[in-house]
Amino acid sequence: MTAQSPKQAKSKNALVSVKHLTRDFDVSPPWLNRVLEGKKKAILQAVSDVSFEVAKNSVYALVGESGSGKSTIGKIVVGLLRPTSGTVEVGGVDLTHETDKTRIEETRVGIQMIFQDPYASLNPRWKVKDIIEEPVAARGRDVTGLAEKLLEQVGLSAADISKFPHEFSGGQRQRICIARALAAEPKLIVCDEPTSALDVSVQAQVLNLMSDLREEFGLTYLFISHDLTIVQHMADTIGVLYLGRLIEEAPRNELFDNPRHPYTQMLLEAAPKLDGFGREVEPPKGEIPDPINPPSGCAYHPRCPIAVERCKNERPEMKQRDKARVACFLAK
C-alpha cells in the first residue's frame, strides 16, 4: 500500500496517470464468412490515445455519449480489461508493465469499482455480510465486525447484515456496493454511472454519501457519467470523450463557463436546463459516427460547425490552452 516511488510519477500529486491508452476490439465477422464471402477484418478502436492524470483526493470525471469509450477506460484502470497499448500507472506502479506480482496485487487491492446497476452487481444468493466481507476474506484478513461497521458508515443498519440483496431498494443496494468497495480500504474508486439507475431524490443521497466518504477516507474517484449535471456537481476536473478520444480536459468551472471544443459546446448547449422554459435549441446536427469506420482527421469534423479543410486530414493533438487542454485546431 505504501509502494510509492516518487521518481516514477511524473507530477508528484497524481495518483493515476494514464498515458497514450489505446484499446482495440476485434469485431470481425467469423473466419468462415471472411473466407467465403470475402469480408474484411474489422477493428473497433474503443479508446484511442487517451492520456490524463488524476490528482490525489480529487474527483476526475469522464463524460461522453454512448460509445465514447468512458466505460472501457474505467475497466482498464481497474484491470478488468487489458489495454492494446499505452500505460496505466496507479500510485507509481505501472500496472501494464510491472512484473513484480506482489506489487501489482498490492496496488490492485487499492482500486475498487462501483457499477451502474445495483441490481446486477450483487449476488442474489449471498447475504449482505458475505458480499461485503468477501474481498477482505479472500486475502485472508480478519473480518470480525467489518460488515457491521461499513454498513453503518454507508447509512444502513448493522442489523441488515443477514439480509439478502432483494430486500433492499435500489438506493440501498448501491450503498451496499459502496460498502463492498470500501471494505478493501481503497485509495481509488472507479464509479461507472453510479446513480443512473436511481431516482433523483435517492441519487442525491448517494452522491452526498460519496462526497462524505471521500473526505473521511481521502478517496480519489474516477467518475464516469453521461450526465453533465451530476458531473458539474461532483467533479474537480472533467475530461470529455468523443469516439474514444479525449477532446477536452479542464477544471470544472473552466469547462462549464468556457467550453473550448465545439463538441463540448454542443453538449452543454443541448443538455436540458432547469430554467430553460420554452427554450428553443437549434438541435445538434447528425449522430455519433460508426466507430468501426471513424471519420478521418478530427473525429468530430462531420458534425462540427466550424470545421475547416485541415480537420478532415489531420488529427488534432491535445494542446494546453490556458487552464484547459483541448484537441482542436481552432480552439482559443
Partner 1 sequence: MAKTVKKPVLSVKNLSVEIPTRQGILTPVDQLSFDIEQGKILGVVGESGAGKSMTGNAVIGLLDPPAHISGGEIRLKGKRIDNLEREALRKVRGKEIGMVFQDPLTSLNPLLPIGEQLTETILEHLPVNKNEAQERAIAALEEVGIPAAAQRINSYPHEFSGGMRQRVVIALALCAEPSLVIADEPTTALDVSVQAQIIALLKRLCRERGTAIMLITHDMGVIAETADEVAVMYAGRLAELGPVRNVLTSPTHPYTQGLMASTPLAAKGKKRLSQIPGAMPRLTDLPFGCAFHPRCPIAKDKCRSDPAPTIEAGGGKAACWYVNGEKS
Binding mask 160-179 for partner 1 (x = CB under 8 A): ---------x-xx-------
Length of the chain counted residue by residue: 332
Pick from 101, 277, 293, 320 the residue near partner 1 by CB under 8 A: 277
Q: How far is the CB of 19 from partner 1 (least distance, A)?
A: 28
Q: Does 143 bind partner 1 (CB under 8 A)?
A: no
Q: Does 39 bind partner 1 (CB under 8 A)?
A: no
> Of 227-246, which residues contact partner 1 (CB under 8 A)?
227-230, 232-234
Residue (52 or 263) nearer to partner 1, CB: 263
Strand order in the sheet with 319-321: 111-114, 188-192, 220-225, 59-63, 237-242, 245-251, 324-326, 319-321
**235 neighbors 63 (Cβ within 8 angstroms):** no
Of the candidates 274, 272, 238, the one whose C-alpha atom is nearest the C-alpha of residue 255 is 238
Residue (171 or 297) nearer to partner 1, CB: 171
Residue (101 or 277) nearer to partner 1, CB: 277
> Of 306-325, which residues contact partner 1 (CB under 8 A)?
none
The position carrying cell 455480510 is 129
In DSSP terms, 59 is beta-bridged to 221
71: enclosing H helix or E strand: helix 70-78
Q: Does 293 bind partner 1 (CB under 8 A)?
A: no
Q: How far is the CB of 122 from partner 1 (least distance, A)?
A: 17
Q: How far is the CB of 206 from partner 1 (least distance, A)?
A: 9
Pick from 1, 42, 270, 308 the residue near partner 1 by CB under 8 A: 270
Contacts of 96 by beta carbon, 8 Å cutoff, 6+ apart: 82, 83, 86, 87, 88
Q: Does 152 bind partner 1 (CB under 8 A)?
A: no
Angle 308-310-311 from CA coordinates, rounded to 5°:
70
Region near partner 1 per CB under 8 A, out of 30-38, 139-147, 158-166, 197-205: 197-205
